[in-house]
Amino acid sequence: MLYRLVLRPLLYAMAPETAHHLTMRLMRWLAASPLCCAVLRGLCAVRDPRLEIEAFGRRLDNPIGLAAGLDKNAEAYEAFSALGFGHVEVGTLTGEAQPGNPMPRLFRLPRDRALINRMGFNNRGSADAAARIARAGTRHATLGINIGKTKLVEPERATEDYVLSAERLGPLADYMVVNVSSPNTPGLRDLQAVSQLRPLLLRIQQQLAALGLPRSMPLLVKIAPDLADEDLDAVADLALELGLAGIIATNTTIGRSPLSTDAQTVEACGAGGLSGAPLKQRSLDVLRRLRARVGDRLMLVSVGGIENADDAWARIRAGASLVQIYTALIYEGPGLVRRIAKGLAGHLQRAGLGSVREAVGLDLR
């Protein structure tokens, strides 16, 4: 209530990216204080054994995660974890530091509970993030690291760029995500074609294996909602062939319908990826197709348009072991994590299930 009545109006009085930087400044400050994080964790955590789930070789408190894109430089993952997230995904991080696309590049569509962004992987690079995570030492957060291609790196050197980030960050991650689906880096989505994706993923797997990690690094690939059905099937088959840990579905969409915001306003925002409520149905459709293709042989992580416990429950029943939120957090505030967790517990009780694990893929059984 405080967020909706006081904080959100204040943040919405600012340009979207200004509000983002202010929020991240606060989260960095919280992350720097173990005491603040402990207090926050005590206030926000939902400790319900029915929500615990095994993923990435760890036991997570709940299946709700923070999607990549908010903590771009891996600066505040401990603070986000303290808000109650079962896992936190940072990045997207690239081999080289880059400023991203020119501003303005982030736009709100309040009538649609959506965002349009063309940030362009603005980050300080994988070396900077690796040094920061290493310095931080012991952590509470289950940390996913999302890696992408540096914009100025030529397409023929894309694999080398990804492998460099994997080498730097692999020893520090609980799981790693190969992002080939952002619409804001020219040519990136071409890497989703199996002919290009196979050698890319193989080289990253080889690099992670060469690090001599004491455990097998869970590797996932993040895909776009705009893929044709036959391309979704091809990526799913490739993930099975290569023994990936899973697929994250989906990234933002380049589509612009259906929207309630007037066409002139949307057009003025320009190019970029659309996230939030308008992505809800397509993201669910992609998840259902992937689950029908791979069954329970891969972990499926659903993201896109998840705004409440009902949405999260629908994704879990459709086959997602984990769900992630981002845009809804901007509209609903940090209390959303706890509300979704409590709502999922209510769904389990009404369904007569003892754990969230029992609900995964329930609609397809």
Catalytic residue set: 182
Among 142, 3, 173, CA closest to 77: 142
The one-letter amino acid code at 79 reads: A
The answer to whether 54 touches 31, Cβ cutoff 8 Å, is no
Radius of gyration, alpha carbons of the chain: 19
Q: How far is residue 143's CA from residue 69's CA, in Å, rounded to a whole number?
A: 14
Q: How far is residue 227's CA from residue 233's CA, in Å, rounded to a whole number?
A: 10
Specify whether the backbone of 295 is left (phi greater than 0), alpha (psi in -120 to 50) or beta: left
Q: Which sign, positive or negative, has the C-alpha torsion 109, 110, 112, 118? A: positive
* Other CB atoms within 10 A of residue 37 CB: 21
Phi, psi for 14 (deg, rounded to 5): -100, 160
Instruction: Write down how long the chain is.
Output: 365
Among 41, 49, 16, 35, CA closest to 337: 41
